[in-house]
A = this chain, B = another copy of it.
Amino acid sequence: MMRLQASEAADETRDEIVRQATQLFTHYGYSKTNIGDIALACDMSAGNLYRYFRNKQAIGHAVVARFFDEVDACIERGMDESQCAEARVRFVITAAVEHTVRELRQAPKIVELSEMICETEEGQAVVGEHVQRNLARLTGLVREGVANREFNVNDAEAAARAVQMGTKFFHIPFALAQHGLDRVEADLAVTLDLLCAGLRGRAACQPRD
């Protein structure tokens, strides 16, 4: 198998492929979109796609990675450094979930893509990286909150992980769709209320016996 292209121009082409694939996946679904369709939309032959992606799944992974990058960018953009740590923790989670919910509303077919992702090793790696980045961000925020006495937790990293686990349900497209998209925002709000109360509280994340 030939090694993938790595030049400037190749990166541009790769981007275009991901853009076109995103359109087709959201419109027709992952399985109903074939390599030929993507190639056609990109004005190239099917074979040429393999100079940029190892296979069809890899395109799916790139589409999802791009979605995660958008969520991250949206969070970076919207993050208001002047706000208290709690507001920013809430924003980080809420923005990501709302982004996903919006996506699910206007393109329910992406559930299929997210299921493919779960089934592949590399797909899980893509998700894993995003989760990791998110945890790092949360940990930073919790540390800040602890530093300025807004939060009161012993182990900032554990508390951040707790926030992440306590909202993990809201990051699973399949679960959201089943729960009912309309209930998501309210349920996330009460959950964040309690988690944030925990971050502020005195005895949170004390070592257990």
Residues on A facing B (Cβ under 8 Å): 118, 153, 158-159, 161-163, 165-169, 172, 175, 178, 187-191, 193-206, 208
Contacts and interface: CB of A to CB of B under 8 A. Distances in A.
B165 A193 contact: no
Residue with the greatest number of chain B CB neighbours at <10 A, chosen from A194, A201, A202:
A194
29 contacts: A153-B197, A158-B190, A159-B190, A161-B187, A161-B190, A162-B191, A162-B194, A163-B194, A165-B169, A165-B191, A166-B191, A169-B169, A175-B175, A189-B208, A193-B198, A193-B204, A193-B206, A193-B208, A194-B195, A195-B198, A197-B197, A197-B199, A197-B201, A197-B202, A197-B203, A198-B201, A198-B204, A201-B201, A201-B204
What 5 pairs across the A-B complex have the smallest Cβ distances? A197-B204, A201-B201, A198-B198, A197-B198, A162-B194
Nearest to A207: B193
A194 to B, nearest CB: 4
